[in-house]
């Protein structure tokens, strides 16, 4: 079902963005607590 | 600080391994016959959902023990777990509707599982807002502990909602009596993904706990 591919790609991209964003946010906060 | 460094390393390793899970899920795991590639969202949605629920259970347990023992380490852990839980909760609430659109034909429906998951997410938001709103450290810890216990009481209803109510959401595939209803290749991918999400939870909580410690030290200095 290739018509489902954009949904899967969107879900994988959003998950990666959320996890990376929080990891970076946490890293920056711990540099200057 | 050792805890902070260890947390950073575990998070970094978790993110690298997440890339490996993506490769395995997308290229080396078979495509499900009826749902097509949209089923692969399961490998991210379900581990995130398990950690959203587990993080709140841990917040509740730490909060309950805090009320008896008054140990600030428990309060720090509850805060760290709640912040990690909200991250996984936002993954659940975005990947779920993205899966729902091609499979159900709608982004959202107000059925029991979806509504209770949203309520759990709002509990996390309320918990962190409450912590931000109360300035007195002792009161903040006590009020937050009560809300944390309420949040943990919601988790069994979230998990069992697909059994207790008539709902569009699929029945449990992994966390249910009896063996998981997945072919071996899909189960291995799921377990790898769950392992990586566990690492990320541990890494996030360690860093967030260390941040609370650093802030307390800075205040006392």
Quote the ipTM score: 0.94
Confidence at residue B1, expressed as pLDDT on a 0 to 100 scale: 64
Give B-chain residues touching A12 at CB under 8 angstroms: 22, 26, 40-41, 44
**Cα B48–B52–B58 angle (5° rounding)?**
135
Contact A19, B106 (CB under 8 A): no
Confidence at residue B130, expressed as pLDDT on a 0 to 100 scale: 97
Question: Among A8, A11, A30, whose Cβ lies nearest the Cβ of B210?
Answer: A30
Contact B158, B113 (CB under 8 A): yes
Interface check A26 vs B, CB under 8 A: yes
pLDDT band at residue A31, thresholds of 50, 70 and 90?
A: confident
Interface check A29 vs B, CB under 8 A: yes
**221 residues of chain B, pLDDT tens digit each:** 699 999 999 999 999 999 999 999 999 999 988 899 999 999 999 999 999 999 999 999 999 999 999 999 999 999 999 999 999 999 999 999 999 999 999 999 999 999 999 999 999 999 999 999 999 999 999 999 999 999 999 999 999 999 888 888 888 777 777 777 788 899 999 999 999 999 999 999 999 999 999 998 888 87
Say if residue A2's pLDDT is above 70. no
d(CA B117, CA B101): 18
């Amino acid at each position: 079902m290739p018509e489902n591919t954009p949904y899967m790609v969107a879900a994988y991209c959003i998950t990666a963005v959320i996890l990376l964003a929080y990891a970076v946010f946490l890293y920056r906060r711990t540099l200057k607590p | 600080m050792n805890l902070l460094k260890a947390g950073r390393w575990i998070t970094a390793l978790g993110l690298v391994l997440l890339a490996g899970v993506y490769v395995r899920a997308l290229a080396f795991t078979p495509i499900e016959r009826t749902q097509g590639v949209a089923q692969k969202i399961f490998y991210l949605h379900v581990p995130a959902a398990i950690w959203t629920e587990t993080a709140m259970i841990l917040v509740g347990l730490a909060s309950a023990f805090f009320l008896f023992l008054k140990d600030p380490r428990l309060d720090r852990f509850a805060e760290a777990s709640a912040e990690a839980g909200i991250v996984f909760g936002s993954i659940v609430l975005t990947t779920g509707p993205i899966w729902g659109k091609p499979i159900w034909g709608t982004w959202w429906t107000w059925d029991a599982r979806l509504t209770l998951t949203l309520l759990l997410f709002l509990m996390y938001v309320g918990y962190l807002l409450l912590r931000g709103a109360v300035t007195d450290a002792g009161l903040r810890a006590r009020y937050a502990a009560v809300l944390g216990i309420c949040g943990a009481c919601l988790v069994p209803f979230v998990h069992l909602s697909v059994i207790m109510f008539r709902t569009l959401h699929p029945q449990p595939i992994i966390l249910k009596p009896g063996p998981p209803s997945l072919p071996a290749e899909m189960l291995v991918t799921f377990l790898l993904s769950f392992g990586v999400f566990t690492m990320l939870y541990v890494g996030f909580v360690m860093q967030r706990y260390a941040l609370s410690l650093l802030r307390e030290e800075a205040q006392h200095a």
